[in-house]
Amino acid sequence: MAERVVVVGLGLIGGSLAKALTGRAGCTVLGIDQNPAVVEKAVACGAIAREADAADLRDADVLYLCLYPQATIDFVRAHGAEIGRQCVVTDTCGVKSAVCPALQALSAEYGFPFVGGHPMAGKEKNGFDVSEAALFDGASYLLTPCGAPEAAVETLRGLAVRMGFGGVVVTTPEHHDEMIAYTSQVPHILACAYVLSPRCLEHRGYSAGSYRDVSRVARINEQLWTELFLDNGAALSRELGTLAEHLAQLKRAVDQKDAETLRRLLRQGRERKESMGE
């Protein structure tokens, strides 16, 4: 049972993992953050036992990297030699093809096992202050083992269960990125495109759940998501193209007052949703 864990990057995701690993999984959690005030806060509230140093990277059972994609690679490049060969290294990036090959190469170079990871949870706010152990309750945890030993995958799976994740899905970086382009990236692009309409400014009083739901994730962290979108540009572009095509079909039916086509497309949408048991 993994007990010594280091979490690098104590933002929303790293802070929440630290809190869940400490409070729910019973691990001894050490933390690293570029902001000393955040480390202090994390110690003060008990999310981490103390700040981690190079010796802790050598002795850890698991290392959770909770940084932006390029920063994740940069950290392992800078500290790879300090990481113990027993330590399961995993990231939390929302894209996998853009980070896993580099981390796999570093894993081969330094001897530690690497398993790509993506905890499917978030908020419209960032930072340690909004992190919470309950963030992952019932959420899906996506793992891309990329050839790592089964034991490393099982270590992460076990911790995920103890933290309260709803399930673990093991897949390839490529399939992960195709699915995420659809399930997560397109909705974020959509939310931004949607609120850019001039009508948005006067929606108050004229809106209900539909507006709220589509626009919710427009409160985006544009630094992070620009990196995520460009790191997954090909898959994201394909999905945006598919969506644009379906939207154009529906718009054409409206423009041509083609009730039959419109009804058919809407019925297909409803049946698709119902066929998923939703």
Find the binding residues for its own copies in span 221-260 (CB under 8 A): 221-223, 225-226, 229-230, 233, 236-237, 239-244, 246-251, 254-255, 257, 259
Distance in angstroms (rounded) separating the CA atoms of residues 11 and 19 = 11
Stretch of residues binding its own copies (CB under 8 A), selected from 22-30, 77-85, 146-154, 264-272: 264-272
- The residue among 55 and 254 lying less far from its own copies, judged by its C-beta, is 254
- The residue among 105 and 170 lying less far from its own copies, judged by its C-beta, is 170
Is there a contact between 58 and 80 (Cβ–Cβ < 8 Å)? no
Cβ neighbours, 10 Å, residue 56: 22
Q: Which of residues 48-87 bind its own copies (CB under 8 A)?
A: none
Smallest gap, in angstroms, from Cβ of residue 15 to its own copies? 18
Is there a contact between 12 and 123 (Cβ–Cβ < 8 Å)? yes
Q: Which of residues 192-221 bind its own copies (CB under 8 A)?
A: 192-211, 213-221
102 touches its own copies by CB under 8 A:
no
The binding track of 153-172 with respect to its own copies, each residue x by CB under 8 A or -, is: --------------x-x---
Smallest gap, in angstroms, from Cβ of residue 24 to its own copies? 19
174 touches its own copies by CB under 8 A:
no
134 touches its own copies by CB under 8 A:
no
Smallest gap, in angstroms, from Cβ of residue 214 to its own copies? 5
- The residue among 45 and 220 lying less far from its own copies, judged by its C-beta, is 220
Q: Tell me the backbone φ, ψ of residue 51, rounded to 5 degrees.
A: -70, 145
273 touches its own copies by CB under 8 A:
yes
| Residue 29, beta-bridge partner list | 5
CA dihedral 127, 129, 132, 136 (to 10 degrees): -20
187 touches its own copies by CB under 8 A:
yes
- The residue among 128 and 229 lying less far from its own copies, judged by its C-beta, is 229
Smallest gap, in angstroms, from Cβ of residue 230 to its own copies? 6
- The residue among 105 and 195 lying less far from its own copies, judged by its C-beta, is 195
Q: Which of residues 4-33 bind its own copies (CB under 8 A)?
A: none
**Per-residue DSSP letters for 174-232?**
HHHHHHHIIIIIHHHHHHHHHHTSGGGGG-TTS--HHHHHHHGGGS--HHHHHHHHHHT
In a 13 Å sphere around the CA of 136, the CA atoms on its Cβ side amount to: 30
Is there a contact between 158 and 188 (Cβ–Cβ < 8 Å)? no
- The residue among 85 and 212 lying less far from its own copies, judged by its C-beta, is 212
Smallest gap, in angstroms, from Cβ of residue 205 to its own copies? 4
